[in-house]
Amino acid sequence: MAKVLIVDDEHLTIEMLSSFLNLIGHQPIGAMSGRQMWDKLAYEDPEAILLDIMLPDSNGLDLCRELRRNAQTRHLKIIMISAYSPPLTREAEAAGANGYLAKPINLDKLKLALGSASVR
C-alpha cells in the first residue's frame, strides 16, 4: 500500500480520488493548497503526489520544480492534474513531472500513471 498525497483545491476532487485510491489499495492524503502540501510532507512520507496546477496560493508547476530541487522530495512520483485545455503536458514535463492527467480524470489512466514512470 502506497501513500499518495492529493493536492487540489476542490474538496470533491480529493474525495473522489481518495475513494478510488482506497479501492486500489493505496492510502490517500489530502491537501488543499501548496502550504498544506508542504505541511503534510513534513510528517507524511508519500510515494506519489497528484498535484493540481491551479491552487489558491501557488502554481502547481512551480511547486513541482520546488519538489524536484528539494533533496527530501526529489524522488517522489509527481503526476500533474488539471482541467486546462489544451493540456499543459510539455510544461509539466519541463517542471519535472512524471505524468499529466486531464480532468475529469480517467481512473484507468490514473492507475496506470501510479504504476508507471510516465503517462499522458
Question: In this predicted model, what pLDDT tens digit does every residue of 21-62 receive, in sequence order?
Answer: 999 999 999 999 999 999 999 999 999 999 999 999 999 999
More confident site: 120 or 15: 15
Residue 87 has a pLDDT of: 75
Q: Is residue 108 part of a domain?
A: yes
CATH number at residue 41: 3.40.50.2300
Q: How far apart are CA 88 and CA 60, in angstroms?
A: 11
Place of cell 480517467: 106
Q: Is residue 120 part of a domain?
A: no
Domain count, the chain: 1
Enclosing domain of residue 78: 3-115
Q: Which residues contact 42 (CB under 8 A, 6 or more apart)?
A: none
Residue 46, preceding peptide bond in cis (omega within 30° of 0): no
Average pLDDT over residues 99-114: 92
Q: Is residue 53 part of a domain?
A: yes
pLDDT at 13 over 90: yes
Residue 96 has a pLDDT of: 96
Q: How far apart are CA 115 and CA 79, in angstroms?
A: 11
Percent of the chain scored above 70 by pLDDT?
Answer: 94
**What number of other Cβ atoms are within 10 A of residue 19's Cβ?**
11
Q: Is residue 58 part of a domain?
A: yes
Q: Is residue 30 part of a domain?
A: yes
> What do you get for the CA distance between the two ends of the chain, in Å?
24
- Considering the entire predicted model, what is its pTM? 0.92
